[in-house]
Chains A and B, each alone.
Chain A
Amino acid sequence: MSETYRLHVNGVDHEVADGWLGESLLYVLRERLGLYGSKGACEQGECGSCSVLVDGELVCACLVLAAGAVGRPIVTIEGIGAGGELTDVQRAFVDTGAVQCGFCTPGLIMATHRLLDRDPDPADIDIREALSGNICRCTGYGRIVEAVQRVAVARRGGAR
């Protein structure tokens, strides 16, 4: 049994050494790889703060066994933009004031990217359903939904 394994995170291979193989991907990202963007709150898949992409699918990193994710491409909030630039989704969250304490924001950004990649013109109900697994206790969601709509409109060339 190997006590060292490799995870492919944000395009880079990371060696995970000295880990316990029962650790969640969230724990490994934060505590072993120093990627603190994904947040840990409920550790039971309820809050969405740890949302990441594994093999392109949006999942809760707290419910992924890290050692079981060997060989799968993982994208975290640190890897969603290119070269340290904010993505259009991140910019829209800032512009609309969809961020207050910021704890839920990385998860919401990941979920929004996944939604808009799949559905460039989501209705309000689609946005709310796509973000239903991401809990925000500050904003009341109004500005978050507005941010998503703003990106969708902008990506379509500004046509409403």
Chain B
Amino acid sequence: MGLCTICQVAVLIPRSLHDALGALDGHPGALVLAGGTDLMVEVNEGHRRIEPDLTVVAVDRVPELRTWTLDRAAGTLRIGAGVSYAELEDEPLAELLPALAQAARTVGSPQIRNAATIGGNLATCSPAGDGLPVLSALGATVELASAAGTRTLPVDEFMLGVKRTALQPGELLTAVTVPLLQGWQGYAKVGVRNAMVIAIAGACVAVDGPSRSVRLALGSVAPTVVRAAEAEAYAAANVAWSGDPVDPAVATEFGRLAAEASRPIDDHRATAAYRRHAVEVLSRRLLTRAFA
């Protein structure tokens, strides 16, 4: 029966993490559906072939994935993979992770942010994912669970390339744990308008006063997020940790090193040269704001 019996799909809706992991254990090739804002676009446009007997595991009603936990003693915030961008852009999370809130606010539209999740952003691993440079700069760790157990990975080791991650069949991204740094942090992005725009270039600067470190992660200028290690080391050695504004020449050099760390391509959204210029300007501005 049905219009398309040959490509019939099974949709499983687990109501607990245990059941979700059980579903993935039984169907290791299943598609995991969270907010749907990436997956359904691919399905609607026919870019993702729906094979016969495919199983979809819809994880949006797994309560364990929708919670977050603040651990003041450890100085970390553990965010369930199913927490939406709408939650990240609002208090109380916005105050804890301002750069992630800024990135969240630039994602799609209110409709998209109500559905889209931080876990989905990570698991899709688009080069332009707005949350990803922030998580990289903050030194976040992802939690990957399966019926066999749970492992953790630094987010920089989780993101392998264009839409490629370290997720194994049967594994579910369950949470991301973010250290709460002590210092300024911000995300900036270039796109064609303020809403509904995929980043042409994005950058996150995060400062940690106690360790005197400056982190810089770049988005949309390489197959996946790039940490600009030289720019970071240069900034840490050359900013005034006493609280004085950064020397404009230092900010300029920081931007130049950021551009040097990027590996952009030409595509329909922008040229490589434009992207390189954009990350240079964004990085320079972010450092200037960080040490104003």
Chain A interfacial positions (CB closer than 8 Å to B): 1, 3, 18-22, 24, 43-46, 48, 51, 57-60, 62-65, 67-68, 70-71, 111, 114, 129-130, 132-134
Contacts and interface: CB of A to CB of B under 8 A. Distances in A.
A119 B259 CA distance: 42
Contacts of B7: 20, 22
A44 B195 contact: no
B8 A1 contact: yes
B96 interface: no
Contact of A62 (B10, B44, B196): B44
A43 to B, nearest CB: 4
B108 interface: yes
8 contacts: A1-B8, A21-B8, A22-B50, A24-B43, A45-B37, A65-B56, A68-B56, A133-B110
Interface in B192-213: 194-196
A146 B89 CA distance: 27
A21 B11 contact: yes
Contacts of B56: 21-22, 65, 67-68
Contacts of B4: 20
B1 interface: yes
A57 B115 contact: yes
A46 B33 CA distance: 19
Contacts, number: 110
Given A45-B112, A133-B109, A65 B36 contact: yes
A18 B60 CA distance: 25
Given A20-B2, A57-B115, A45 B109 contact: yes
Nearest to B113: A133
A64 B8 contact: no
A132 B36 contact: no
Contacts of A111: 110-111
Contacts of B36: 63-65, 68
**Which 9 A-B pairs rank lowest in CB-CB distance, beginning with the nearest?**
A133-B109, A132-B195, A68-B58, A43-B44, A67-B11, A20-B4, A21-B9, A63-B40, A1-B10
Given A65-B40, A65-B58, A133-B108, A43 B45 contact: yes
A68 B33 contact: yes
Given A64-B36, A65-B36, A48 B111 contact: yes
A89 B13 CA distance: 35
B114 A58 contact: yes
Nearest to B112: A45
Give the bracket for the number of chain B residues in contact with chain A.
Answer: 35 or more
B45 A44 contact: yes
B24 to A, nearest CB: 16
Given A45-B112, A71-B13, 7 more contacts: A3-B8, A24-B43, A43-B41, A46-B196, A60-B112, A65-B58, A133-B112
A63 B115 contact: yes
Interface in B9-68: 9-11, 13, 33, 35-37, 39-41, 43-45, 50, 56, 58, 60
A64 to B, nearest CB: 6
A65 B115 CA distance: 12
A41 to B, nearest CB: 12
Interface in B103-138: 108-112, 114-115
Nearest to B109: A133
Contacts of B114: 57-59
Given A133-B111, A133-B195, A19 B40 contact: no
Given A18-B2, A68-B11, A132-B196, A24 B108 contact: no
A58 B1 CA distance: 33
Given A44-B45, A45-B112, A68-B60, A18 B3 contact: yes
